[in-house]
Amino acid sequence: MNIKKIKCIDDLTIELPIDKGLYAITGQNGSGKSTIAACASSVFFNIPMKEYFGKTDDDASISFELNLSKRAWKKNQNNSWWKYSDGPNMNIKGFFEGSLIFGNRFKDMTYDNIISLEAIDQSKLIHADEFIRKNLGIILQGDDNFYEKLWRVSPNYEKFKGDIFYYEKNGKRISQFHMSTGENLLISILNSLYIRNNDRASLSKPCMMFLDEIELALHPSSLKRLVHFLEDMANKYNYAIYFSTHSIELISGISPSNIFFIERHSDNSIEVINPCYPAYATRILYDHTGYDKVILVEDDLAKAIVDQILRREKLLSSKLVHILPCGGYTKVIDLANDVITHNLLGKKASVTIVLDGDIKEKAEQYRIKNNIGNNIPLNFLPIESLEKFLRNKLFLSVDQKLFRQLNDYIFQNKSLTELVEYYKNNVDANNDKDGKKFFNIIDTELKERRVERSELVNMIVEYLFDTNDESLNKLNVFLRKQMES
């Protein structure tokens, strides 16, 4: 999707996966995340552009590409929006729901309609579907029968075309106009889901859902139940569900590869950071009150190595330790500096950095360039990055023991030998010094077989401890010193 001159976004291109799962679009206030969600929703239905985006320049546009299909919103000579398509039909469905103002509900609502619907005769109402009734109770109250009597306006009621809901409590009927914001929002989401579920004639057709800052309407406990529910829906019906959010409850439960952090720089340019670890996305150690030690690392491999050392050496007794992946080394250093500068952990806790073994000089240069002090304890892993490690051990200088272990226990469908051979014949290995192209081949196979990356990481960690590498012993000594300080 390319967005040009829409609200606070001057020109931005972003690639959004349509694969099933949960995704987060996050960033600071004013970064443009809600605008991105609203623009993206225009790919599958005709939204009132002026109402959503206000006054825009004559050359404002939103354009999409999916495979060979193209679709766009552009301005005509009268400065009115018009829809443009090119190539094969873009078969994509979805819906958009905003927590407070925008969304599917109340599109044709007027004051007169509200008055008439408040006083509507019971004969004009029918029972709401059990899918909506039960899940509304489960998500909001943890009780599938909390909304025992849930009604909606009959589709035969000609005065109104939308879906308006009512529930009855203690003999009193409450319309959707007088429900809580959370009830109002969730009923709309469940209704849209119900419609889409029944419309899924082919699960292969992409379906995207955009939910804008729903945490503003829902209690954290309800939000967690909603996330689990939507995860089940995504897997069952092949939905790609996007949250535009600040919520730690949402972000912490989503894979870094599915988090898009929108960073607005001082020159008003926008950078999309993906993958992005939750710690960097929130830019604050939000849920770590009470920890004695926080160790910042780059990725899940580093986390697994540090965790194994602490457990094997019994360094976790009588203290609470949190190991937090943050992304690349600059993000780790920046976050650690924020923690120290603004005392985000309080007086009790301390912060330590452990970085990949291939960026010692770069890390020092970065600290000097950005005037970041050397008072934060820092050490390095016994290996370079995961990508470089795998390329070295499985391709450049084959470690037969590690190769056989991975091949026998993880790559049982398409063998590791086949993957290495494909890399050798189809990729310019000389231009893959960082090993990312090699790892992409391996990672693609893992995803196709639904093997968690953690399985690969855990086997590599076991290998490192079995080899008893001297660098690992140095890291061991460093961590023991930090735990005892």
- 339: domain CATH number is 3.40.50
Tell me phi and psi for residue 357, to 5 degrees.
-75, -5
The C-alpha atoms of residue 175 and residue 114 are separated, in whole angstroms, by 10
Question: Regarding predicted confidence, which is higher, 1 or 181?
Answer: 1
The C-alpha atoms of residue 411 and residue 408 are separated, in whole angstroms, by 6
> 286: pLDDT confidence band, cut at 50, 70 and 90?
very low
Highest mean pLDDT of the ranges 41-55, 127-141, 193-207: 127-141
Q: For the chain, what is the mean pLDDT?
A: 86
- My answer on whether 412 and 376 are in the same domain is no
DSSP labels, 116-132: HHHT--GGGEEEPPHHH
- My answer on whether 32 and 161 are in the same domain is no
- The mean per-residue pLDDT over the stretch 2-16 comes to 94
Instruction: From 159, 156, 226, select the one nearest 187 (Cα to Cα).
Output: 226
Residue bearing tokens 């909001």: 140
- The mean per-residue pLDDT over the stretch 116-134 comes to 88
Residues 6+ apart with CB under 8 A from 295: 306, 321, 322, 323, 324, 351, 352, 353, 354, 482
- My answer on whether 11 and 138 are in the same domain is no
Question: If you ran DSSP here, which 8-state letter would residue 142 be given?
Answer: S
- My answer on whether 55 and 69 are in the same domain is yes
Residue 309 has pLDDT above 90, yes or no: no
Which of 138, 159, 189 is a domain's end point? Answer: 189
Record the tokens describing residue 326, joined without a space: 């943050």
42 within 8 A of 82, measured Cβ to Cβ: no
- My answer on whether 479 and 360 are in the same domain is yes
Burial class (CB in 10 A: 0-12, 13-18, 19+), 266: exposed
Supply the pLDDT for residue 469. Answer: 66
Compute the chain's Rg from CA coordinates.
Answer: 26
> 375: pLDDT confidence band, cut at 50, 70 and 90?
confident
- Between helix 400-409 and helix 453-467 the angle, nearest 10°, is 150
Residue 426 has pLDDT above 90, yes or no: yes
* Total structural domains within the chain: 4
Q: How far is CA 219 from the centre of its chain?
A: 20
Supply the pLDDT for residue 365. Answer: 92
> At 423, which helix (H) or strand (E)?
helix 416-426
Residue 75 has pLDDT above 50, yes or no: yes
The C-alpha atoms of residue 295 and residue 316 are separated, in whole angstroms, by 13
Instruction: From 149, 101, 133, 131, select the one nearest 196 (Cα to Cα).
Output: 131
> Worst-scoring range by mean pLDDT, 117-121, 194-198, 422-426?
117-121
Which of 276, 295, 327 is a domain's end point? Answer: 276
- My answer on whether 408 and 438 are in the same domain is yes
The C-alpha atoms of residue 320 and residue 315 are separated, in whole angstroms, by 10
> 159: pLDDT confidence band, cut at 50, 70 and 90?
low
Instruction: From 272, 274, 375, select the one nearest 333 (Cα to Cα).
Output: 375
Supply the pLDDT for residue 283. Answer: 56
> Worst-scoring range by mean pLDDT, 48-52, 170-174, 232-236?
48-52
> 61: pLDDT confidence band, cut at 50, 70 and 90?
very high
The C-alpha atoms of residue 324 and residue 282 are separated, in whole angstroms, by 12
Residue 463 has pLDDT above 80, yes or no: yes
Residue 382 has pLDDT above 50, yes or no: yes
Question: If you ran DSSP here, which 8-state letter would residue 412 be given?
Answer: S
Supply the pLDDT for residue 423. Answer: 95
Question: Regarding predicted confidence, which is higher, 464 or 132?
Answer: 132
Give the β-pairing of 293-297 and 321-325.
Answer: parallel
Record the tokens describing residue 147, joined without a space: 């909304």
- The mean per-residue pLDDT over the stretch 195-213 comes to 89
Q: How far is CA 110 from the centre of its chain?
A: 36
Supply the pLDDT for residue 103. Answer: 47
Instruction: From 283, 264, 262, select the one nearest 338 (Cα to Cα).
Output: 283
> 104: pLDDT confidence band, cut at 50, 70 and 90?
very low
- The mean per-residue pLDDT over the stretch 52-76 comes to 92
The C-alpha atoms of residue 24 and residue 224 are separated, in whole angstroms, by 14
* Tens of pLDDT, residues 334-357: 888 887 877 766 656 788 999 998
- My answer on whether 342 and 214 are in the same domain is no
49: domain CATH number? 3.40.50.300
The C-alpha atoms of residue 137 and residue 359 are separated, in whole angstroms, by 51
- My answer on whether 90 and 31 are in the same domain is yes
The C-alpha atoms of residue 208 and residue 94 are separated, in whole angstroms, by 5
Residue 229 has pLDDT above 80, yes or no: yes
Instruction: From 423, 425, 460, select the one nearest 441 (Cα to Cα).
Output: 423
Residue 29 has pLDDT above 70, yes or no: yes
- The mean per-residue pLDDT over the stretch 48-77 comes to 91
Residues 6+ apart with CB under 8 A from 231: 21, 22
3-state secondary structure of 13: strand
Record the tokens describing residue 78, joined without a space: 């009268």
DSSP labels, 156-176: T-TT--S--EEEEETTEEEEG
Percent of the chain exceeding pLDDT 70 equals: 91
CA distances from 408 to 142, 393, 395, 451, 459 (A): 44, 16, 17, 14, 12
- My answer on whether 390 and 378 are in the same domain is no
Other CB atoms within a 10 A radius of the CB of residue 413 amount to 10
Supply the pLDDT for residue 338. Answer: 82
Supply the pLDDT for residue 289. Answer: 52
- My answer on whether 371 and 301 are in the same domain is yes
- My answer on whether 377 and 289 are in the same domain is yes
Supply the pLDDT for residue 18. Answer: 94
Give the β-pairing of 350-355 and 378-380.
Answer: parallel
172 within 8 A of 151, measured Cβ to Cβ: no
Residue 248 has pLDDT above 70, yes or no: yes
Highest mean pLDDT of the ranges 227-231, 275-279, 448-452: 227-231
Q: H-type helices in 12-141, by residue range?
A: 33-41, 49-53, 111-118, 130-141
Burial class (CB in 10 A: 0-12, 13-18, 19+), 4: middle
- Determine the structural domain holding residue 177 and report its residue range: 111-189
CA distances from 106 to 67, 186, 345, 403 (A): 34, 14, 45, 59
The C-alpha atoms of residue 352 and residue 30 are separated, in whole angstroms, by 32
Question: If you ran DSSP here, which 8-state letter would residue 373 be given?
Answer: -
Torsion angle in degrees (nearest 10) through CA of 360, 361, 365, 367: 10
Supply the pLDDT for residue 141. Answer: 92
- My answer on whether 122 and 46 are in the same domain is no
Supply the pLDDT for residue 74. Answer: 94
Which of 247, 276, 305 is a domain's end point? Answer: 276
